[in-house]
Amino acid sequence: MKITYDPDTDTLTVVLKDTAVAESDEDKPGVILDFDAEGDVVGFEILDASRRVTDPRHVEFTRSPRLRLYGRPLRISRTVAGVRPSSSLRRASSPVRQSVRAWSPSVRSPEGN
């Protein structure tokens, strides 16, 4: 991923995937989405960035803590109906599936949060 701020044009560009842009669409005024040939978003531009972004020259990158269940990484993916466990957890026993669906307080990150 690449993030570029051009102060001359006051444009913030975020490239999510380094691939050819097949189509661009200004979804909302001042926000341009870039799509590849398959229709996936590969980047976006924010025009007049100094008005729309708190500080276009400052980027903070954080990584979410990995959740663990019984010593194994917990992977959760979304569905239309809400949150569902990954395939490895779907094969687990019913109480485990229920606790993941209910987002049980017993499921904690390695840092204990």
- Length of the chain counted residue by residue: 113
Asked if 96 contacts 89 with a C-beta cutoff of 8 angstroms, the reply is yes
Asked if 36 contacts 26 with a C-beta cutoff of 8 angstroms, the reply is no
Domain layout of the chain by residue ranges: 2-52, 68-101
**pLDDT in tens for each of the 113 residues of the chain?**
899 999 999 999 999 999 999 999 998 999 999 999 999 999 999 999 999 988 888 888 777 777 777 777 766 555 444 444 444 444 444 444 444 444 444 444 455 54
Pairing of strands 23-28, 31-35: antiparallel
The reported pTM is 0.55
First CA to last CA across the chain, in angstroms? 28
